[in-house]
Structure 1
Amino acid sequence: MTDRARWRFEAIGTTWEIETSEPLDETARRDVASVIADFDASWSRFRDDSLVSGLASQGGTVPAPRDAAAMLGLYSELSAATDGAVNPLVGESLARRGYDATLSLIDRGAVGAPADWEAIVQIRDGQLTVRDPALIDVGALGKGRLVDLVLAAVTPHTAGTIVVDASGDLAVRGASQRIGLEHPYDPSRAVGVWEVTDAALCASAINRRAWGEGLHHVLDARTGQPVRTIAATWAVAPTAMHADAIATGLFFDGGPRLAHEWGASWVRMTTDGRLEWSPGCSAELFVAGSVGA
């Protein structure tokens, strides 16, 4: 986009940038800040006072946040498609590997998440119940969900183009945006460019949030071990939550099938440098020796 107003700020541990046809006024900015604060207060496992931290220590039943049904419903589909590799109770697995509330980066060994998570975490009659104390982590799709919420908060304040970019997870409305696909092993290079129009693109890579001996934030919830075969993923879908969920699912068998069912397009890079992509994917890809799915 050219000749657009840009608002850049830090929130939930990452850099956000919102581009609009005209500058957002203070009311719009307060609305965005409120949406992010509410989401963080519910879902951040890095805050002692968040809802999920309280449920991790005591379990119990609380009024369900407005995002709970949508996100946990998608988790159910992701979990089924990946044979349990994606699981919202992976929080304790991440914490034990060092990606904990204090970011200790101290590996205390692998532990799998409870396979029966849907019996432990339930929503009924507007209430969220965690039957046993358990640490919910919505990282597989939560930032995408928040991008959608921020987009919805901005929309009433401008009639023009909107791009909401949360450092790799973004939504575009009213325009097209060409987005470089960052090489996971060399941030100065792109493996391709994808033009996104009135849709969302989300990415995930093992070089982000990586530490120790081969540890990173994408764990197989069944084992607590980091994935070893996929290095990076990109997905385009109508909403950022769906794109984020597919970007996570693509690290595992079953992700491409779920993307097809949802009508999402995707690209992924294996750890040996090959690119794979979905049928009909419109991304311009630069890496040789790659294959379509």
Structure 2
Amino acid sequence: MTAVTATGSVWTFEAIGTAWAIETETPLSSATRGAVGAVVEAFDREWSRFRDDSLVSALAEGRAASLHAPVDTDAMLALYDELDVATRGAVNPLVGDALARLGYDARLTLAPWGTPEPAPDWRDVVTWGDGILSLSRPATLDVGALGKGGLVDRVLATVLADVDGDVIVDGSGDLAVRGAPVRIGLEHPYDPTRAIGVVEVRDAALCASAITRRAWGEGLHHVLDARTGAPVRAYAATWAMADTAMRADGLATALFFDGGPELAAAWGASWVRMRTDGRVEWSPGFEGEIF
């Protein structure tokens, strides 16, 4: 996605394996930048399946069966529950082992070592409550369906605690806006020099997902159907606009499957999605322009 904004102060940095930008009317203080860095580091240390020292890795490797739950556990897993129900099991936080089997593993080998297999029913494995996160057996949690959006929300809250005025937090495809409206171009998944449309975002979040962003090998990418463990084939890209980035991120994942549009309608969210054959669909309430 491409944001068209007024000139301001932009802080760019790398976090959780991708590029970030925070735009404010005046430069962020060193204290605020440090607070943002602490929020990002805590999230990565807790939820990254690419770090040996993360909580997720400890659970996956059986080094722990129960751990102190990260602060956002309840919010994220409750949202996963909604996504799972809406997509009839296609979205599942235990898809991590299925991704690893296809080569998108903790070492990023990108070398498949097995055939697709369904993810387990996560409700039979994962329990949380009273500040504790537990797995009944070792398994790999992957919160990629909504985690970056949730982190965008946390970064935005950290910035807003210290600055006034317009703020844009862009987590490389997951974007939250507070204040003045921002025009966003919807990047064509097969040609990053083109846009398929444009939408204005104000005091909301817009998140995108595409099978071309993290792809390797023939037909291999990061968006899997948890019911089969295989990459999705029908849709190439999705965009969702909601009140929070975590909801928009989760909805962008759900839109690769049947049930996603119905969930968006229940939330009052708008969306666009492109099929792999180039056809574009959008919600009745979408207020942007499709070219």
Q: TM-score range by the shorter chain?
A: over 0.9
Large movers: runs of 4+ above 4 Å = none
TM-score (norm: length of structure 2): 0.97
Which residue number corresponds to residue 34 of structure 1? 38
Equivalent residues in 2 for 1:146-165 (5 A)? 146-165=151-170
Give the secondary-structure state (helix, strand or coil) at the position aligned to 1:157: coil
Which residue number corresponds to residue 55 of structure 1? 59
User: 1:121-172 CA deviation, whole Å, 9 max, x = no partner?
Assistant: 1112111111110100000000000000000000011111000001110000
Matched to 1:278, the amino acid is S
Which residue number corresponds to residue 110 of structure 1? 116
Task: Find the partner of 1:18 among 17, 22, 25.
Answer: 22
Give the secondary-structure state (helix, strand or coil) at the position aligned to 2:148: helix
Give the secondary-structure state (helix, strand or coil) at the position aligned to 1:114: coil
Task: Find the partner of 1:82 among 80, 87, 101.
Answer: 87
Which residue number corresponds to residue 208 of structure 2? 203
Give the secondary-structure state (helix, strand or coil) at the position aligned to 1:231: strand
Which residue number corresponds to residue 228 of structure 2? 223
Task: Find the partner of 1:138 among 140, 143, 147.
Answer: 143
Q: Is residue 2:259 matched to residue 1:254?
A: yes
Mind listing any 5+ residue stretches in structure 2 that lack a counterpart?
none
Q: Is residue 2:78 matched to residue 1:73?
A: yes
TM-score (norm: length of structure 1): 0.96
CA distance in 2, matches of 1:280, 1:148: 24
Q: Considering only aligned residues, what root-mean-square deviation do their CA atoms show, in Å? A: 0.7
Mind listing any 5+ residue stretches in structure 1 that lack a counterpart?
287-293
Which residue number corresponds to residue 289 of structure 1? none
How many residues are matched? 285
Which residue number corresponds to residue 180 of structure 2? 175
Task: Find the partner of 1:9 among 13, 29, 49.
Answer: 13
CA distance in 1, matches of 2:7, 2:252: 31
Q: How far has the Cα of 1:238 moved from its partner?
A: 0.4
Matched to 1:114, the amino acid is P
Give the secondary-structure state (helix, strand or coil) at the position aligned to 2:250: helix
